[in-house]
Every structure is written in C-alpha cells, then in structure tokens.
Amino acid sequence: MRGDNDQLASFWMPFTANRAYKANPRQLVSASGMYYRSSDGREILDGTAGLWCSNAGHCRPEIAEAIAKAASTLDFAPTFQLGHPLPFELAQRVAALMPDGLDRIFFTNSGSESVDSALKIALAIQRAKGQGTRTRLIGRERGYHGTGFGGITVGGLVNNRRVFSTLPGADHLRHTHDIGRNAFARGFPRHGAELADDLQRLVDLHGAETIAAVIVEPMAGSTGVLVPPVGYLQRLREICDRNGILLIFDEVITAFGRVGAPTASEAWGVTPDIITMAKGLTNAAVPMGAVAVKRELHDAVIDSVPGGIELFHGYTYSGHPLASAAGLATLDLYARDGLFDRANDLAAYWEDAAHGLKGRRHVIDIRTIGLVAGIELEPRPGAPTARAMELFHAAFDNGLLVRATGDIIALSPPLIVEKAQIDEMFGKLAELLETID
C-alpha cells in the first residue's frame, strides 16, 4: 500500500481489490440520466443502474428536491416510541405495490439490514404462533443476502463466509445453475424445478418442527443472474405450505421494476410470506430498505404480547425523513413515467440484444429475464475470474459500466434506457470480447 499521506489510503473500500484499485483508480464524479462522468471527463454509459439500484436514472431533480425539502424541514426524528408523517405515508405506498396481503412494512437502511430483519421477524412469528422449536434457517448455495451475520449464514457465496463465523442451525438448498441443460435459455430455463425438492429433503433430515423459514432470491443476481427454472418457485411455495415453513423472497434486486412489475413475486405469480427490499426503493439517492410482511403474520406477533414493545428490533434510522422523502419521490417517478411497464415493453428487445453475443469469443452462456442479463465467460485456465475483470476494466475505459462477478458479466440498466443505448452496450461488449484473451 502507499503511505499514510496518500489521498486514497484512508478509505478501506468494500468488495474491492484495494491495492489494485489504488494503484490505478477509476473514479466517477457526477451523473445524469443514463450516464456517469469519470474523473478524466468521459461519459460512462451506465449498464448496471449503479449497483442494481438507480432504476429511474441518475440525479433526478424531483428526488433531489424532495430530499432537500426534508433536510430543511425535519432533518431527523426518532421512530422509537415516536413518529413523523413520512414513513407512514411511504409504508402505505409500498404496501400498495406488494402482492395482496403483504401490507405491513418495516423500514431498514440497506438490503443487508432488510435480510437480517426478515430473519428475526420470521423467528418472532414462529414463536408467536407457538412454534418456538422452529429456529432453523434455510438458504441456498450461491445465494447473496447481504453481509450481516444472518445474511452470510443463509447466503451461499463462499468468499463471503470463509473467514467469518456464521449462526448455528442453518442449512442450504442446492443452487439452480445448470449450463449443461439450460445454456442460452431465454427467460425461465426449462430444467431444474425438481431442485426445489431439496427443501423436502432438508425437512426429512431436520424435521419440519425445527425449520422457521427458507429464503431465496427469486432471481439470484449477485452470483451472476441465475433465473429460476420453470415451476421452481411454485414448488418451493408448496413445500413451505405443507410443512409450516415461512417463505422469504429477497427482492433487493428484483423489486421496483427490474423484471417488469413492482415485484418478481407479482410478475411470476408466487406470493411469499415476507419480501425484503432496498436499492430501487429510493433510486439509491438515500440508503433505505424495507421488509414487507403478511398482515396475519404481523398481527400474530403484535397480538402475542399483552402490552409494551412487541418486537425488540429496529434501527436509529428506520424511516429516516430524508430516505422516506426520497422513497416517495421515487415511487411518484415510477408511476408518472410508467417505468415498470417500460421495462416490460423493452424486455424482448433487451433479450435479443443480449443473446446476440452468442458465438462470441469466450461466451459459454447467456441468461436474461426482464431488464437483466448475465454473460458467462469461460474461465481463463489457471486464473478464474480474471477474464471477466479484464473485460470490466476494458468496458469502463471504453465508456461502459458493467458488473463483473466471478466469470460473469452482469447488466441491469436504469429503466429509462433507450434501444440505441441497449445496442451500444452489447455492441461494445461484442467488440471488446474480441480483444480479451
């Protein structure tokens, strides 16, 4: 590392190769609409909505004005035994977007906090229902549920887990990644619904009376866009119902239009008991997350306590005024501009453009759903992940922001993307693939 006086040394960057970055920093200094601007003055087309989160595009004045108004009116107010109007209004608006019945909203500050909150809520629900032996939490291999201890426990990305202790009593379903049978699938892959039966196997192993909840991403994003096989989510729902297990969908990525509807749950016709959200909730302008819970499950917890605090859980910034204002302005934009429908309308064009990379050098699979694409590259012999990271850097240097995860390039643009910009994204990737060894 450089010396202590280096202007970059003090910031320990998250999920970053710090030494490599600080030796050759690439910085973003402003943004507008579909574009970032780099520190050397270049426009960078945003192919990832920042980090799956700026769904309405960047620096929307309506959101900035709402934040400024909140900051000058009520910069902070506690929500422990007190309240202020904005989170109550936002909770009603979010509840209206959820599947029927999921209309009790708990606010957090991030996706990681939403997941840990959902897991704790699930345990509280089971206890309130007289099912106190149900303490086991089930996740899935290759799942990403943030970086809290609960999230890494149910998560299935080995590098996020290997140097940290995890919570006891968890288990994992097998992942659904199957290039052998599903390569270059458009939308839901045909094969793999039977993998949901792994949950029944864990019920048979541990006993249903020990399992509180199972959590999955409807579409596994951070691991490289793993789209659920046809019938997979429906089968999970059936096994949960049969065995008294709560089903949690982690929709931190898929909520707020990414797959052409307010939630993947609605778009794909499977209603969980709990949904976690963040990212697109405020267009990432202010950090915020949320957990949506079925009303009857919320009521079970509330009614189980004769008086006083029902759930000993929360955050100083739950329902923060600035975040709530940003959330309300963001939902207004989504509705006014019809962005969820727009994502749906563009999905077929996006799919065709992405699958146009089939046959390009190094490409071994392409997966698409909604406005998401995963381009899987053959690993470089002896250097897994290096090829995708090299393409990530080359794309940035050529004016395009993508995401590299393992040997996969992921794309998830703002929902305001135009067809010409879609063509530009995949055209640049096609050109750059020819230059990468």
pLDDT of residue 254: 98
pTM for the predicted model, two decimal places: 0.97
Judge whether 253 and 219 are in contact, CB under 8 Å.
yes
pLDDT (tens digit per residue) in 107-150: 999 999 999 999 999 999 999 999 999 999 999 999 999 999 99
Q: What is the pLDDT of residues 194-225, one digit of tens each?
A: 999 999 999 999 999 999 999 999 999 999 99
pLDDT attached to residue 139: 98
Q: Kindly write down the DSSP assignment for every residue of 29-79, as one continuous string.
A: EEEEBTEEEETTS-EEEESSHHHHT-TT-B--HHHHHHHHHHHHH-S----
Q: At residue 19, does pLDDT exceed 90? A: yes
* Residue 70 in this model has a pLDDT that exceeds 70: yes
The predicted pLDDT at position 2 comes to 47
Which CATH superfamily groups domain 18-59+338-433? Aspartate Aminotransferase, domain 1 (3.90.1150.10)
Question: For residue 198, what are the contacts with CB-CB under 8 A and spacing of at least 6?
Answer: 173, 174
The rounded percent of the chain whose pLDDT value lies above 90 is: 99
DSSP reduced 3-state for 198: helix
Q: Which runs of E-coded beta strand occur in 243-381?
A: 246-250, 274-277, 289-293, 363-369, 372-377
Q: 372-400, pLDDT tens digit by residue?
A: 999 999 999 999 999 999 999 999 999 99
Max distance between CA atoms of the chain, in angstroms, equals 67
Class of CATH domain 64-337? alpha beta
Backbone angles phi and psi of 83, in degrees to 5: -160, 170
What is the reported pLDDT for 198? 98
Q: What is the pLDDT of residue 1?
A: 42
pLDDT tens digits along 309-330: 999 999 999 999 999 999 999 9
Mean pLDDT of the region 69-83: 98
Closest CA to 52 of 223, 216, 280, 219: 280
Bridge partners of 383, per DSSP, are 380
From 5-14, 66-75, 278-287, 311-320, the region with the lowest mean pLDDT: 5-14
Q: Looking at residues 170-175, what average pLDDT do you find? A: 98
| Domain boundaries, given as residue ranges, for the chain | 18-59+338-433, 64-337
- Cα-based distances in Å from 276 to 98, 184, 367: 11, 29, 24
pLDDT at 171 over 80: yes
pLDDT of residue 6: 83
Averaged confidence pLDDT in the chain: 97
| Proportion of the chain above pLDDT 70, given as a percent | 99
Question: What is the pLDDT, as a whole number, of residue 5?
Answer: 52
